[in-house]
């Protein structure tokens, strides 16, 4: 029987991509489409809004009206916190692709993993998660002798910077090298900054146009440079990964806990 998947943030670009990915999966059905309270989309046909043709599913603005086995949430930090609490109370797994959490918000969300299976990732692309593994290798081999910089680019509508994916890449590199990212990260440079300190990890952010997502991590040594780059050309790459994670959480009665996409893909050592 198909897994029932509810999608929040359905009025956004990612919500529509998730709807398409659910339909394409062949293993799931879109059982609920949820938007923010008072949205003009309430009552509209979810299939039509997603460009998939009428499916008879009316969009709602209350998660309590949704029937689902697992929720996929790509919204905003406070909304995600509330949705994770709802899922925990109802005993439903949740997949979270929201970024931009502060420490308080993230702690509140992750606390729900004690009650239900929860998959939170900064990026659900298979390629990006493979890059995380490549970054661990590069950091072990090159990190202590290289200057490390991370450059990311996204569309003009993205509200957080650096991206959650860029920060995750920085965390992977810093953890591998035994550094605390909060102490060594440099977010942009201006003016007389002085010579670069070797242990720092720099971040540069680009915003504009319709760029779906591009990330490059540079390991720069004397005489050579290694770059690990991922470029996304469609939100479907993230949406398909999120649906894959949702199906993985439901499979075999996954136990409560905090998982990420590398768990789903079996990429953890």
Tens place of pLDDT per residue across the chain (269 aa): 799 999 999 988 899 999 999 999 989 999 999 999 999 999 999 999 999 999 999 999 999 999 999 999 999 999 999 999 999 999 999 999 998 899 999 999 999 999 999 999 989 999 999 999 999 999 999 999 999 999 999 999 999 999 999 999 999 999 999 999 999 999 989 999 999 999 999 999 999 999 999 999 999 999 999 999 999 999 999 999 999 999 999 987 799 999 999 999 998 76
- Give CA–CA dist 251/81, Å, rounded: 24
The structure tokens listed for 138 are 């590069």
- The residue with tokens 């949430």 is 73
DSSP tag of 34 = B
**What pLDDT shows up at residue 269?**
62
- Write down the domain spans for the chain: 3-120+235-265, 126-232
- Our CA angle for 162, 98, 57, nearest 5°, is 145
Coil/strand/helix, residue 109: helix
- The residue with tokens 């910089």 is 149
Spatial neighbors of 28 by CB under 8 A, at least 6 apart, are 2, 3, 4, 5, 22, 243, 246, 247
What's the CATH number of domain 3-120+235-265, 3.40.50.720, 3.30.505.10, 3.30.43.10, 3.40.630.180? Answer: 3.40.50.720
The structure tokens listed for 79 are 């909304």
DSSP tag of 147 = E
For the whole model, what pTM was predicted? 0.84
Q: Please state the CATH superfamily assignment of the domain spanning residues 126-232 in this structure.
A: Dihydrodipicolinate Reductase; domain 2 (3.30.360.10)
CB 261 within 8 A of CB 120: no
**What pLDDT shows up at residue 11?**
87
Residue positions annotated with a catalytic role? 154, 158
- 239 sits in which H/E element: helix 236-250
């Amino acid at each position: 029987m198909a897994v029932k998947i509810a999608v929040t943030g359905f009025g956004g670009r990612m919500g529509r991509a998730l709807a398409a990915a659910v339909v394409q999966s062949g293993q799931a059905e879109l059982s609920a489409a949820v938007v923010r309270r008072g949205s003009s989309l309430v009552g509209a046909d979810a299939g039509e809004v997603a460009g998939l043709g009428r499916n008879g599913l009316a969009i709602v603005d209350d998660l309590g009206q949704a029937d689902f086995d697992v929720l996929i949430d790509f919204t905003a930090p406070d909304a995600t916190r509330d949705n994770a609490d709802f899922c925990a109370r109802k005993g439903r797994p949740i997949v979270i692709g929201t970024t931009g959490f502060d420490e308080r918000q993230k702690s509140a969300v992750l606390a729900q993993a004690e009650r239900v299976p929860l998959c939170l990732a900064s990026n659900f692309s298979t390629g990006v998660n493979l890059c995380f593994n490549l970054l661990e290798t590069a950091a072990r081999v090159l990190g202590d002798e290289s200057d490390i910089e991370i450059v990311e680019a996204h569309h003009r509508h993205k509200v957080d910077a650096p991206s959650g994916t860029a920060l995750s890449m920085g965390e992977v590199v810093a953890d591998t090298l035994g550094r605390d990212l909060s102490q060594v990260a440099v977010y942009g440079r201006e003016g007389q900054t002085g010579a670069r300190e070797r242990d720092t990890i720099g971040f540069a952010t680009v915003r504009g146009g319709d760029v779906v997502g591009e990330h490059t991590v540079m390991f720069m040594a004397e005489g050579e440079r290694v770059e690990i780059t991922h470029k996304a050309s469609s939100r479907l790459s993230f949406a398909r990964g999120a649906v894959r994670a949702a199906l993985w959480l439901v499979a075999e009665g996954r136990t409560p806990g905090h998982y990420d996409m590398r768990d789903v893909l079996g990429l953890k050592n």
